[in-house]
Amino acid sequence: MTMTPGLRKLALTVHVTSSVGWIGAVLAYLALGVSAVTSQDAQTVRAAWIAMEVTGWFVIVPLALAALLTGLVMSLGTPWGLFRHYWVLITLGLTILSTVVLLSHMPTVSSLAAVARVADGADLAGLGGDLVHAGGGLLVLLAITVLNVYKPHGLTRYGWRKQHEERARLA
């Protein structure tokens, strides 16, 4: 199945917007985490954790799901295909992994934000800033971006077979 050019452009626009938005939201989350780690002010740490929870659930999670869904639409509706190229499969795998890690980690963020809401200054200092998850997530998202921009060569066996079938049909 191939999308019409107009539908493909619309799907690509939504995909790029959600993917870039995901990266931007993770950068904002990381900045909040740095603020929580470096600040000596209890109110700043409390506010950072509450903002990290809100950013995670209401910005990062929806953008991650949108990027995953629109990536599937793009791969299934364009000649790139889902199973033809290794870079598409690796991108899909990394996106699924990132989304699963995100979804499994967000309840912990909510728990820590709940602690931050009621903790006193001494307890807030021990919360940290969730830099490892955000930093690791950012690195994976940047790797996905590089794969999608450079599209390294390499067809899967399925891709080779489909390519040979198309060439035979055109000959």
All structural domains of the chain with their residue ranges:
5-170
- pTM (two decimals): 0.92
CA distances from 37 to 30, 110, 140, 162 (A): 11, 17, 22, 52
Angle at 133 between CA 131 and CA 136, to 5 degrees: 100
pLDDT at 79: 82
Radius of gyration of the chain (CA): 20
pLDDT at 8: 92
Query: Any idea which residue has 């931050």 for tokens?
Result: 116
Q: Residues 117-163: pLDDT tens digits? A: 999 877 887 888 899 999 999 999 999 999 999 999 899 999 999 88
Residue 83 has what DSSP assignment? S
Query: Any idea which residue has 């790139």 for tokens?
Result: 80
- Asked if 22 contacts 63 with a C-beta cutoff of 8 angstroms, the reply is yes
The average pLDDT across 70-93 equals: 92
Residue 41 has what DSSP assignment? -
CA distances from 54 to 26, 57, 144 (A): 12, 5, 25
pLDDT at 152: 92
When pLDDT is cut at 50, 70 and 90, the band that residue 1 belongs to is low
Q: Residues 38-81: pLDDT tens digits? A: 998 999 999 999 999 999 999 999 999 999 999 999 999 888 88
Bridge partners for 85 per DSSP: 155
